[in-house]
Structures are given as C-alpha cells and as structure tokens.
Structure 1
Amino acid sequence: MHRMLKTTLALALAVGAVSTAGATTATAGTGVTAGTTAVAAASHGCDSGYVCFYPGAGWNGDRPSHRYYNYGTYNLSNMFGTYRIFNNQTGGAIVRTCTGYNGTGCQGDLPAGWYIDKDMTPINSIVLAP
C-alpha cells in the first residue's frame, strides 16, 4: 500500500496537472478499496473493467464521455481541459497518460479503483495495462 501511494503521489507531482492533492480513492458504492484486486462493481456510470473519462473535475452526472476496456494504447483527439479519469479495471490493472502518441512519454500509473482530475490538453494517448 505504501509503495502504491508513493507511485500515485509521484504521478500527481510529475504531471503537475492534478486539481486535487493527488489521486483519491473511488467512493460512493464502488465496492473497491484502493490496492485491491477484487472485481470492481459498476460505479458512476463506469462498468466494471473499464477506464472512464468525465468532462470537468466531477462525475458529470455519472455519464462518462469516453470509455476504454481492452489493454493497449489509445491515441486521443479533441480532449482539452480537465477530465476526471476513473480506473474501474480489475485485477490490479493500471492506466497511464502519455504526452506523445502511441504510448510515448507516459507519466506514472493510476491504479485500479482510483480516480484523478487531470488537464488533458497536453495528453495525446493513454495506455491500459495489466
């Protein structure tokens, strides 16, 4: 847990775009505690196993604007300003944000069961990994 917290805080400090003081644990009925590998429940409109993006620094009425499921790299377009990124994947899977396309210039890991509010303007791709 301590190592994961250090990694998460390093992510928050490295990107400098977090609107909260580091990543915080997901709440409100997720059934997931940070650091567990239990099966995540659907939460805030984000189905179990997905990484969901919400425009702004909130849950957007539990309506994500973008959803990603399969492991791999996703190039992004037209995502500017702050988005809430919620990693509702299972089995300890992580999501990374990257300044370059095709998963280059990646910054830290967002663990399963956590969310972060992040300025997506400089971000051009994300990576979902086990």
Structure 2
Amino acid sequence: MQVVRAGHGGPGGVPAGAAAAGGTYANCSYGAACIYGGANWNGWPKEYFSRGNHPFYNQYGVKRVFNNQSPGWYAQLCRNANGTNCDITIAPWTYVDVDLTPYNSLRIVGP
C-alpha cells in the first residue's frame, strides 16, 4: 500500500493556512474525503463519509483529493468502480492533486 503523506500546501501535506485538523476546511467537512473540481481548493467538493467503496463517474483531468478524516482513516483511489486495484492511499489530513481519468472509485478504510 502506497500511502501519500505529502500535499502541495504546507509542511507534511497539511493545507496551507489551516488552523488545525479536526474541523471543516475549504468546504470539506471533518470526517469526509473530498474531491474538488480542479487542482485547487475552489468550489464545493463532492464529500464521501462512509466506510467502503464509492464509485464516481465522469472525473477527468487533475483534481484535488483531500482526506479530512481522523487518524487511522484512509482514502484510497481505485481504478475499478468496485473498489479494487487501488494504488493511491491518502493519509488523514492530507491531499493530492492527481489525474482522475484512470480512476473510477474512492474507498474509505479505517479501524
């Protein structure tokens, strides 16, 4: 499992300007994994809260994926819509800018 721990904002992948983990940040509720419309914090992201697989459709190009969850909860990007072939794992309070074209689901895993 490749765990991504670095973002493009502040040290350790913590978004620049964030006060502390544990609250809503950039319109992404605490406890959610969020997909933004581009490689930035603009707009209202699609939020995913529950454990398990979440298929998504028509996501092309580079998007920001932010894991705004508590320690121990990870967001995974999977190439298959059924939550398999996951090759990016995003640690809590971390984001990545990634081309979602080859991905078809986001899976939330935790304790």
What is residue 110 of structure 1 aligned with on the other side? 90
Confirm or deny: 8 A CA contact 2:78 2:88 kept in the other structure. Answer: no
Consecutive unaligned residues of structure 1, counting only runs of 5 or more, are 1-5, 13-17, 33-39
Given the alignment of the two structures, is residue 58 of structure 1 paired with residue 40 of structure 2, yes or no? yes
What is residue 36 of structure 1 aligned with on the other side? none
Determine the C-alpha separation between the residues in 2 that align with 1:46 and 1:92: 18
Determine the C-alpha separation between the residues in 2 that align with 1:77 and 1:8: 23
Letter paired with 1:27: A
Highest CA radius of gyration, 1 or 2?
A: 1
User: How many residues align structurally?
Assistant: 106
Tell me which protein shows more helix as a share of its residues: 1
Determine the C-alpha separation between the residues in 1 that align with 2:47 and 2:19: 17
Query: Match of 2:90, SS?
Result: strand
1:47 is displaced (CA, Å) by: 0.9
Determine the C-alpha separation between the residues in 1 that align with 2:19 and 2:65: 15
Q: How big is each residue's C-alpha offset from its partner over 1:41-89, in whole Å with a ceiling of 9 and x where there is no partner?
A: 111011110111111110014x21x110001101111111111001001
Letter paired with 2:39: A
Moved over 4 A (4+): none
Q: How big is each residue's C-alpha offset from its partner over 1:80-101, in whole Å with a ceiling of 9 and x where there is no partner?
A: 1111001001132000101112
Confirm or deny: 8 A CA contact 1:30 1:42 kept in the other structure. Answer: no
Match of 1:48 among 15, 30, 41: 30
Consecutive unaligned residues of structure 2, counting only runs of 5 or more, are none
What is the aligned-residue RMSD (CA, Å)? 2.2
- TM-score, length-scaled by structure 1: 0.73
Match of 2:16 among 22, 27, 41: 27
Confirm or deny: 8 A CA contact 1:42 1:48 kept in the other structure. Answer: yes
1:114 is displaced (CA, Å) by: 0.2
Determine the C-alpha separation between the residues in 2 that align with 1:128 and 1:80: 21
